[in-house]
A and B are shown apart, each in its own frame.
Chain A
Amino acid sequence: MSTSAKGGVLVYAEHENGVIHPVSFELLGKGREIADRLGVELWSVLLGHRVKRQAEELVYYGADRVFLYDHPTLEVFDVVRYKHVLVKLVRETEPLVFLVGATPLGRSLAPRVAAALNTGLTADCIDLQVDKDGELIQIRPAFTGNILAHIKTRSRPIMATVRYRVMKAPKRDTSRRGVVVEKRPGEALETGLRFLGKVSARRVNLADADVIVAGGRGLKRKEDLKLLEELASLLGGVLGVSRPLVDEGWISKDYQVGFSGNTVKPRLYVACGISGSPQHLAGMRGSDVIVAINIDPSAPIFRVADYGVVGDLYEVVPKLIEALKRIKGGSVDG
């Protein structure tokens, strides 16, 4: 490997206080696949302060080369300053593909970089495929998840933000070797943005949840959320809700699944008393296994369900809780 290179597949390494966001590892996995198909190197870029050690991690997850910008002026995320650095790097190294996680941060940063480079950017992809002509096809939901658009880009780099948990992260391999290229960010110009601190932390992180038990309009009272919470905890999961319950003021928006709330992809999603509006489906359609409990057999939620129970959630959920408790009790007591 030479010290200068051009034309790789570049992955943006997102982190918070030095903890790499798992979507970055997932992108390294997909990026490795694309780079191998195109016969180019896989690169990653990391911006921050005192993050040198994380650069090595990116190598363990598949990067051949990591561009490291470790500098006090990059300690907090400033979308304009970060954009400057990335634009400069792209102009220098001319990557073919540039992937960014479709996190709130990524979806704020990537458009600025793309606009500055006058290149195409595809938002919130759920799949990336190299076709037989070596073209990168980017697949993304549109129209509130009602359709999937297949997109090609005619400019370089091809830029895309990619949804969390749709790609598989590779195994961490500490025997992998790569090059860490230490770069300087250049002069820190005034950007007009001042970060004044965290106001509040989210109460629950649905994006990371493996099991979600969600309630909707079928619930009659706020207190009944406790029922679903109990079911969630028996299944090792967390509570979620559809938008109407947030609008009613029953619970914080942190718990909302759907187009204007959280997009989730748990291993198991249990929808209780949720009819399944397009807005709700857009937020949970990617779940591995979907269970629907609804009194109305014609509810759209059944069309995306793996397993459904047609029945009153007030009868079904307590029975489920009871059965799970019996099973748990049995396995604990032997």
Chain B
Amino acid sequence: MLIKQVPDIEKVRFDVETGRVDRSSAPAETNPFDLNALETAVRLKEKLGGRVTVISMGPPQAESSLRDALARGADRAILLTDKRFAGADTLATSYTLATAIRKLGSFDLIVCGEKTVDGDTGQVGPEVAEHLGIPHVAYVCEVREVSEDRILVVSDMGDKYLFEVTLPALITVTKDINTPRIPTLRDVLKARRAKVEVWDADSLAGYGETCRFGLQGSMTLVTRITIPSEEGRRGIIFRGEDAVERLIEALRKEGFIP
């Protein structure tokens, strides 16, 4: 199962002048969608046995998210961290994650969150599946059945669709699939002592092309960041007794009321 550490989106600050994102301004947390993915994986383990391995790519401090995942029921945690992984777009990120999964060896199911709250792309899951040559189903809101070689899932694409997928496969899950558990104090303390493995670019060398990692492997480049402007908005506020009358008048001028 794949997770990402992200800044707390309520607290992160954006510099309007320079157009920079100040990640250090906000505490880091696990991407909320990934907690639903982890919960999905842990529930499957509890039902069917097996082991849950969590992989995250990020700076060394992302280790805390992996520890949190261990407290929530994961068995093994691997952090991909290296300067050569930095500056990756979704293509390079997914390639690096897929390479690490190849190094792990065999697996039955990969579970990811639908998207992250910082990148918002939702691309990494399907791209990992493609790199590994396995089928995927996105927007999974329910796992109906699992057997040794198949999984039956409902995908929420506006309307809901039922798919049967041959394992190994990848699914990305929505927030509706479950309510993530709160780890007990005992689990948190146990996870504090557990080992988080750290893999760098060299350790993946035999499993993929290192030139496809990080900035070097990225095909998209952010050239500028702007803050969405509300300039076009009128910002007319009505108060008091005749507020509704004046709103009606405004809506009439805009053509919403005859």
Interface segment, one of B39-47, B71-79, B188-196, B232-240: B232-240
The verdict on A285 contacting B228 (CB below 8 Å), with A83-B130, A143-B14, A195-B163 known, is: yes
Q: B5: CB under 8 A from chain A?
A: no
A147 near B237 with CB under 8 A, answer no
Other-chain residue from A107, A149, A201 in contact with B123 (beta carbon distance below 8 A): A107
A116 near B234 with CB under 8 A, answer no
Interface segment, one of A27-35, A51-59, A91-99, A317-325: A317-325
Q: A88: CB under 8 A from chain B?
A: no
Other-chain residue from B127, B157, B163, B258 in contact with A104 (beta carbon distance below 8 A): B157
Q: A115: CB under 8 A from chain B?
A: yes
Provide the residues of chain B in CB contact with A149, threshold 8 Å: 222, 224-225
Q: A310: CB under 8 A from chain B?
A: yes
A154 to B89, CA, bound (A): 12
The verdict on A148 contacting B227 (CB below 8 Å), with A211-B256, A307-B247, A307-B250 known, is: yes
A260 near B139 with CB under 8 A, answer no
Provide the residues of chain B in CB contact with A108, threshold 8 Å: 126, 136, 138-139, 157
B234 near A306 with CB under 8 A, answer yes
Closest to B175 in A: A260
A306 near B238 with CB under 8 A, answer no
Q: A26: CB under 8 A from chain B?
A: no
A111 near B244 with CB under 8 A, answer no
A303 to B124, CA, bound (A): 33
A62 to B231, CA, bound (A): 33
Closest to A78 in B: B135
Q: A205: CB under 8 A from chain B?
A: yes
Bitwise interface map of A from 152 to 168 toward B, beta carbon under 8 Å scored 1, else 0: 11110000000000000
The verdict on A122 contacting B258 (CB below 8 Å), with A116-B130, A142-B120, A192-B134 known, is: no
Other-chain residue from A107, A141, A151, A278 in contact with B223 (beta carbon distance below 8 A): A151
Q: B48: CB under 8 A from chain A?
A: no
The verdict on A122 contacting B220 (CB below 8 Å), with A306-B234, A323-B245 known, is: yes
The verdict on A114 contacting B127 (CB below 8 Å), with A211-B256, A285-B228 known, is: yes
Provide the residues of chain A in CB contact with B227, threshold 8 Å: 146-148
Provide the residues of chain A in CB contact with B202, threshold 8 Å: none
Closest to A142 in B: B120
B161 near A306 with CB under 8 A, answer no
B239 near A311 with CB under 8 A, answer yes
Q: Which of B119, B137, B257 has the most CB of A within 10 A?
A: B257
CB distance from B229 to the nearest CB of A (A): 9
Q: B129: CB under 8 A from chain A?
A: yes
A199 near B162 with CB under 8 A, answer yes
A143-194, CB < 8 A from B: 143-155, 191-194
Chain A residues engaging chain B, CB cutoff 8 angstroms? 79-80, 83, 103-105, 107-112, 114-116, 118-124, 137, 140-155, 191-202, 205, 207, 211, 235, 253, 259-260, 267-268, 277-279, 285, 289-291, 297, 302-311, 316, 319-320, 323-324, 327, 331
